[in-house]
Structure 1
Amino acid sequence: MDEFWTIQQAAAALQVHERTIRRWIGDGRLKAVRVARTIRLPRGAVEALAAATNGHEQADHSVGCPGEGNGAMSEEKKDAVVQAGLQDVVAGESSICFIDGERGRLVYRGYDAVELAEHSTFEEVAYLLWYGRLPGRVEFEAFLDSFTGSMELPVETVMILRMFPKAATPMEVLRTAVSSMGHWDPDSGCTRLDACLRKAIRLTERIPLVITAHQRLRHGKEPVHPIPGKSIAYNFLYTLQGTEPDPDWVRAFDVALTLHADHEWNASTFTARVVASTMADMYSGVTAAIGALKGPLHGGANEEVIKMLQQIGGPERAEGWVKDALARKVKIPGFGHRVYRTDDPRAPVLKRYAEMLTRKSGDTRLFETACAVEQVTRDNTRVYPNVDFYSGLCYHAMGIEAELFTPIFAMSRTVGWTAHILEQWTKNRIIRPRAQYTGLTDIRYVPLDERGT
């Protein structure tokens, strides 16, 4: 007896159309393997599904059946396996970032990201991601000098920021402002590598200033000019709050920026690479990436964590809240990850800084609640806190409004986005995947007057 069946055999056994079998493979209901370049399904799994459905799940007539004007699909399309959300699909090669999901490691250009966060700086990591190596002292000093020339926003950008309605969210403003800044970039229209690197530097330096200038304007305050020679972390806090930032805040913020600098081919980075593959300019790629990050399934989780902790109200209420959420199958913000099968290596680092910052502020209740939520969740599930669970607590302890958490994500990830855009251009081929068609074909056109009402 054959151990594996073809799609055609499985469809016959289950009394469904072959396209339904492919859909079930795509959504994980049936596991498929490749045997001699063809798709095969374990016979036992097919028979088990047949017994479970007991013939009640019939052919999906919404996609049509043979003999009903569908037309034939090519053999290439028949063998396609759809991976919903491109789960575990390797879509290309990159030397920028590596995630070991089983061991819980994050690597930037060969260096452990946690080690970089603890011992390096965000600016040095930016150099590493863009140039592929760490700089020497003279190189790094010259690199830092290049940031100084980009530290002021174009006058036109500030004028645009003043025009936004109060209802505009910080992410909406950031998306539009970044798109407009391309018009006033001195290297606009130039595609040489040195020009594109200068664009990456300007974007990395100016996006924080867009965020802080708009936040001050919407609260009736004038933008604050950054201080040349200071770090991006320092100037973000300074231009946001208008006062000399606490050194511990600056250090913690720099660590958070470093840990968010890149994360392989996530949704926003993949978006940036797709746009770059069309040979669109760098500002288009970053604008598109911001648009992807704006979606709640990608960005915004750390903001939801703060809301959740405030709703719980204290560590003594954490156990009841978590168990109730689990019973109702409600997703707990800040937990779980598509790639990591163990602890997100960034979370413990940010947890330490969150503890330090909240103790320094004198208000540890949210942090204690977070620790209680983490413990109860660990005791009752196999999911772990991700980078979002403690990052928001760090920002909250610095007095940063929750609505800025996702824009902060964008300002740090700009380094990664631009590095991936540059890498995409080095060996470019337009990214153009295929889709498994599930609709009808060869339907005869009926004139409008003959279709009735």
Structure 2
Amino acid sequence: MNNGLDDVIATETVMSDVDGLAGRLVIRGHSLDDLAGHVGYEDLVAILLDGFFQDLPGPAALASRLGMARRDVFEMLVAGGAPDRKLPATDALRAAMARLGDGEDLDVALRLIAAPAILTPAIIRQRRGEAAIAPDPTLGHAADMLRMLHGTVPRWEAAAALDTYLVTVSDHGLNASTFTARVVASTQAGLTSAVLAALSALKGPLHGGAPGPVLDMLDGIAAAQTAEAWLEAALDRGDRLMGFGHRVYRVRDPRAEALKRAVAALFGPGTNDRSRLALAEHVEAAATSILARRKPDRSLQINVEFYTALLLEALGFPRESFTSVFATGRVAGWIGHAREQVLYGRLIRPQSRYVGPRPDQAA
């Protein structure tokens, strides 16, 4: 019995393959290197959903329908009343999405994909005391999300950076939230139920909540000359260095490299102050060296969270919204897995090994 189900094969899938030893991620037959920075999120949605809906249109028509789905979701979930401002950001997202109807058809799927991109900016603006901004169905998914956040059409570099992020986190094997989506889908509860369950799993700090603490770490370090001492002291206390190490990867997380390239482009000459990026690069080098010396039996390199934190901060997303932005990218992957489970799987019902007292022992 493997506690945590490590190395247990629970299903066969065409969705993605995570090679932790080689540091390679394949999504629907495409390497991450061929996708991140090269295809838009709408094109990636078409790739992820291919074969799972009989009426799935071509990429251009699908992008148009996704834009219209953003408009419809805004009318359904935002225009008539903003999400509950008393709830934390991810809880507010989940509560609002729970108002969407359940089902297995493509319209339900597109509304679920549209919802986080609509609701996340609306929730952020509400907490700032600002009115929500209606979507523009003619824009790309990432560009429209940033426009709804800031009120202006984003510059190309910003939209491209968010596009790269959404593509990079769209699917990643049988992680906790994706497995949750498949379990719920296997009961034939419907796509909305599967996505809400996955979002609940993503909310946990051991799964989707670590990018924010990466920024807390950088804020604590503050300057390159204090990095080594700060990191050594943190490890002496037994603290975990946020953004380093991964449950699956034994080498560098390939998603980290894709996002580092996106951040570098976002902080290009004449665009943003590069001091934050320079500090992060120094911390990465210092922490990698310290961890290699102190924990030589483990490979603890940066993971997807490290440069995610810088990217989302630079794009203007507050830290409490990072999990919701993660969900914006991952929701299409959840839906692909859920549909694959419904079409080709069966009710998921594993066994457990009882280790409690027997009736005669209890007596």
TM norm structure 1: 0.74
- Which deviations, in whole Å up to 9, do the C-alpha atoms of 1:233-277 show, x marking residues without a partner? 001100011112111000011001100000010000000000001
Equivalent residue number for residue 296 of structure 2: none
**Which of 364-373 and 104-113 deviates more?**
364-373
3-state secondary structure, aligned to 1:150: helix
Unaligned runs of 5+ in 2: 293-298
Equivalent residue number for residue 8 of structure 1: none
Q: Name the CA distance, whole Å, in 2 between partners of 1:84 and 1:444.
A: 26
CA contact (8 A) 1:310 1:366 kept: no
Return the letter of the residue paired with 1:398: L
Show structure 1 runs of 4+ deviating over 6 A: none
In structure 2, relative to structure 1, the CA distance for the partners of 1:383 and 1:237 (3 Å cut) is: same
Equivalent residue number for residue 319 of structure 1: 228
1:84 equivalent to 2:37? Answer no
Q: Name the CA distance, whole Å, in 2 between partners of 1:199 and 1:132.
A: 16
CA contact (8 A) 1:336 1:385 kept: yes
Equivalent residue number for residue 214 of structure 1: 123
TM-superposed CA distance for 1:405, in Å, is 1.1
Equivalent position to 2:240, from 319, 331, 334: 331
3-state secondary structure, aligned to 2:98: helix
Mapping for residues 4-403 of structure 1, pairs under 5 Å: 82-131=1-50, 139-152=58-71, 153=73, 155-158=75-78, 162=82, 164-166=84-86, 168-182=87-101, 188-189=102-103, 191=104, 195=105, 197-359=106-268, 360-380=270-290, 381=292, 382-403=299-320
3-state secondary structure, aligned to 1:107: strand
In structure 2, relative to structure 1, the CA distance for the partners of 1:421 and 1:249 (3 Å cut) is: same
Return the letter of the residue paired with 1:336: G
Q: Name the CA distance, whole Å, in 2 between partners of 1:154 and 1:314.
A: 42
3-state secondary structure, aligned to 1:84: coil
TM-superposed CA distance for 1:158, in Å, is 2.0
Q: Name the CA distance, whole Å, in 2 between partners of 1:361 and 1:319.
A: 29
CA contact (8 A) 2:44 2:167 kept: yes
3-state secondary structure, aligned to 1:323: helix
TM norm structure 2: 0.91
Return the letter of the residue paired with 1:391: T
Q: What is the percentage of aligned positions where both structures have the same residue?
A: 37
Equivalent position to 1:438, from 348, 355, 360: 355
3-state secondary structure, aligned to 1:142: helix
CA contact (8 A) 1:314 1:366 kept: no
Q: Name the CA distance, whole Å, in 2 between partners of 1:282 and 1:98.
A: 23
Return the letter of the residue paired with 2:330: R
Equivalent residue number for residue 295 of structure 2: none
Q: Name the CA distance, whole Å, in 1 between partners of 2:158 and 2:79.
A: 30
Tell me which structure has the larger Cα radius of gyration.
1
CA contact (8 A) 2:37 2:163 kept: no
Bigger relative contact order, structure 1 or 2, given CA contacts below 8 A and separation 6+? Answer: 2
1:411 equivalent to 2:328? Answer yes
Q: Name the CA distance, whole Å, in 1 between partners of 2:273 and 2:65.
A: 40
TM-superposed CA distance for 1:159, in Å, is 6.4
Q: Name the CA distance, whole Å, in 2 between partners of 1:159 and 1:147.
A: 18
The CA RMSD over aligned residues, in Å, is 2.0
Q: Name the CA distance, whole Å, in 2 between partners of 1:356 and 1:149.
A: 30
TM-superposed CA distance for 1:175, in Å, is 1.0
Unaligned runs of 5+ in 1: 1-81, 183-187, 447-453
- Which deviations, in whole Å up to 9, do the C-alpha atoms of 1:363-399 show, x marking residues without a partner? 3232222112211222132311011100110111122
CA contact (8 A) 1:252 1:394 kept: yes
